[in-house]
Structure formats: structure tokens, C-alpha cells
Chains A and B, each alone.
Chain A
Amino acid sequence: MLEIGSLQLGPNPIEDIQDTLGIWGLRMLCATLVITPLSWVIGPLPIRFRRMLGLFTFTYCGLHFLNYLILDQTFNFSAIIEDIIKRPFITLGLFGVLSMLPLAITSTNNWRRKLGRNWIKLHKLVYLTSIAACWHFYWQVKKDLTEPLIYCSIIALLLGARMVRTWRRNQQATHKTT
């Protein structure tokens, strides 16, 4: 057995690569989403790491997708198209990866400046990415749903925290907040 970091290559190395990249993509996504709520509690310091974590997420998920495309399907496009049409967890996975592309591209300071307030709006797309990622994981397991449900709960908690905060702010707001 070959071991590279947390990646252990056993008798089915393509599956090992696919699963390891996928689970680390999801972990990085959770880490990225933790930053904002954390900054409410301990101040703005963690915000510095948000972009880096987001790009890690994109890297893991992008490699997860490329492993599917190259090693798993060996560019068999008819099989890939069939997968995308017939299998919802693949459709969701593709949506998840594609939804991260504009976020990765506009992650630079230049783009941020250029887009202004729209940058924040655009980057709320990560909420849809997270839902797609969880659902993708949930649908692909054979039977035991424990692990996907753990990640679904974490993501639900992190998105829920944002909803509660927004709702509270709207309640309190007698004037507009920035």
C-alpha cells in the first residue's frame, strides 16, 4: 500500500484518490464557511484565511472532478454525458464544481475591487455550492449515511447561523445597516 499524506493507495487507487479528494474538498468547504461566523465572535483576524481556504476547496474539488474525468472515465464522453443526465449525484457534483469556478476566478483583489458590492452577492453562490456538495455525497453512498449526515449537519449549522443572524438584524433594524 502506497501512502501519500492522508491518501492511501490500495487495490483500487482511482477510488482512493476520488474519495480522498472529495472528502478533503468537503472539509475545506466547511473550514471556509466557518470563518465568517468565527469572525463574529473573535473579530476579523480569521477573515485573512478565508480566501486561501476557499481556494483550497476549489483545488480539492477541481482535482476530484479531473480524477473522475481523466482516470475514472478516461475521457469517455458518451459515458460522462450519460452519467450527468441519468445520475443525479453526478449532475449535482458537476454543478458544485462549476459553481466554484466564478468564485475562484474573482478571488483576486483586482476582481474584488472591480465588482464592488456585487462581489459579496456573487460569493453567496458558495451557499448553493455547499448544498450541492452535501447532497452529492449523500446520494453516492451505498447504505450507511452516517458520514454524509455529519457533513450535512455541519453545513446546515454554518448556513443556519447566517440565516439567524440576517433574520435578527432585520428584526432589530429600524434603519438600514451596512
Chain B
Amino acid sequence: MLIYSRPDIKPSEITPEDSYVNRRHFIRSATLAGSSLLFAAGCSDADDSATQQQPKPALNINAFEDVTSYNNFYEFGLDKKDPARYSGEFKSKPWSVTVDGEAEITGTFDFEDIIKPHTIEERIYRFRCVEAWSMVVPWNGFPLGDLLKRFKPTSKAKYVAFETVYRPAEMPGQRAGVLNFPYLEGLTIAEAMHPLTLMATGLYGIDLPNQNGAPLRLIVPWKYGFKSIKSIVRISFTETPPPTSWSDIAPSEYGFYANVNPDVDHPRWSQARERRIGAGLFAEKEPTLMFNGYADEVASLYTSLDLSKYF
């Protein structure tokens, strides 16, 4: 399969850290890494016929600089350059995560205890923002489902809620208060347990930088970026749909599911195409793919759902 289970070759082996400090050098090697990975992944998993029949666009990995200097993290400001600019004061160590709700094992756990049993993998995912721009990012992390199973969720656990840390002293955007902080997100238990759903601890082989959601963030590659909540301090198993920040303040514009869908426009802009970050000044926008290109893997989760109503 294209997306995960690539034990044979890792981007960090192809692209050492010192080569992406030198940007020009880096872009070349990153592009190379992307194409060789695609090739390697295609070869190593011959039984995934769907991927082979319908080749997806090449995953040209974005430069480290793009990934770490252009993103939304309203806790640090509204401009996409603000997270990199204003996250210097943020302290991601020590860190702990509280687990509560419909599970047999609950409590507050140190970051180290959260990640210790898991093997950190590298996964190259498309990342599609609801603002119609996209990137390809090499994340490091482990399947969220593996973590959740450790807490033995009960049969009442239908949803998983997440909460970002609330530290206005270190997060200037929280003092401005455009959203109702702390930021909240949530998934259905099936989405949370899906093997593509990643609990990320790093990118490009290094620990998550502050601006990208240190030290622990969610990555749900088939959903708009705002679902992939950053700097998580609480995970709750719930029976009813948990509140989620963007759909709370603008329910007509942002839904609970927020699956990437080129056929359902945002009320104020089109979702049919996306601006690929790093493609250059003269690149055309690219067509947006259903479920961000992960339809083969996740469409079965939504067969009974009217996606234009539950956007």
C-alpha cells in the first residue's frame, strides 16, 4: 500500500537532517526521496491492486521549511506565519495527557508513558487545509488506535474527544480569543481506530516543533487539517458526539466530520481544487481528491452517511 507499512526505506535515511538545513539542496533531495518512496511502496505491497490500477499523483514531499513556517495554529496567531514566529515561549516538556470517560483505564499519564510501548513509524501523508491549500508531510508517530486500545474503551465509547492545552501565557493567540479556547476536536470511535489515523510525535525525523503541535498531535489525513488537533492534553471516550471548536462557532461552514470532499464546497469558497504549497508561482491548482486521496481506505466508514449533509 502506498500510504503506510514501509519497513524497507525511511525518508530520514534518504534525507539526513543536515541536508535540509540547506534549502535548495534539500528540495532536490526531498523530491527524490518522495519519488523513490512511492516507487518502493508500490513494489513492496503488490497485493494492493486498487492502488496500482489507479495511480495517485506523486507524493512530492514539501520542504521542511514549508511544513514548519506555513500553517494554522490559532493558539499562536491568525496568520499562517504566526505559529513559527510566536511559539518560541511554548514549553512542551514536561507533558502529560489525561484520559477519561468511557474506558476501563483512565488517569493522567506522562508523555513518556504514553509513547513508550509504541514503535514510531514514518508516514508520508497528504495534508489538505479547509482553506484549499495542501502539502505532503513526512510525519512520525504511531496508530492512534493502538494507543486507545490500551485504555480498554467500553461499549459505550462511541466517540473520542481531544483537547489542546490551554496556556494563554505561552500562547498569544489564546489571549486574543478568536476561537473558544481550549481547542476541541473529536472523531467517531471507528475513525479513531482506523489504521490511517496517526498520533504524531514528530516530522521529518525530529520531534514535533512547537508550531506544528508539540509534543503530541493527531493526524487524520482524509479530513481537513483543523480536525488534526495539536498539543493534546486530554483524550476522552464519550457516548455522544463531543463539541468541536470550528463547528461550534460556525456550524454552517464547518461540520463534525470535515472529510475532504471536492463536491461539497465551503459556503464561501470552492473545495474542488487546491493550491499545492511549494509548487511554485506558475503552477496550476490541483484537483482535490475525494477523502484527500484515501477513499480506498476510508470510504467504507461513510457508506450510510449523506456526505453533503454531514460535511
Contacts and interface: CB of A to CB of B under 8 A. Distances in A.
B78 A71 contact: no
Interface string A67-98: 00001111010010011001111000000000
A142 B66 contact: no
A115 interface: no
B268 A10 contact: no
B298 to A, nearest CB: 26
Interface residues of A, number: 23
A12 B274 CA distance: 12
Contact of B269 (A76, A87, A143): A87
What secondary structure prevails in chain A residues at the interface with B?
helix
Interface residues of B, number: 30
A7 interface: no
Contacts of A76: 284-285
B45 interface: no
Given A11-B66, A14-B281, A74-B284, A142 B273 contact: no
Which of A12, A82, A88 is most buried by chain B, counting CB atoms within 10 A of its CB? A12
Contacts of B275: 12, 14-15, 72
Contacts of A143: 78, 178-179, 249-250
A95 B176 CA distance: 34
A82 B270 contact: yes
Interface in B156-194: 176, 178-179
A72 B133 CA distance: 12
Contact of B268 (A13, A71, A73, A139): A139
Contacts of B65: 11
Nearest to B179: A143
B70 interface: yes
A64 B278 CA distance: 21
Contacts of B62: 11
A83 B178 CA distance: 27
B6 interface: no
30 contacts: A10-B70, A11-B62, A11-B65, A11-B66, A11-B69, A11-B70, A12-B70, A12-B80, A12-B275, A14-B275, A14-B281, A15-B133, A74-B284, A74-B285, A76-B284, A79-B270, A79-B285, A82-B270, A86-B265, A86-B270, A87-B270, A89-B268, A139-B268, A140-B268, A142-B131, A143-B78, A143-B178, A143-B249, A144-B78, A144-B176
Interface of B: 62-63, 65-66, 69-70, 78, 80-81, 131, 133, 176, 178-179, 249-250, 265, 268-270, 272-273, 275, 277-278, 280-282, 284-285
Q: Which 3 A-B pairs have the closest CB atoms?
A: A11-B70, A11-B66, A74-B284
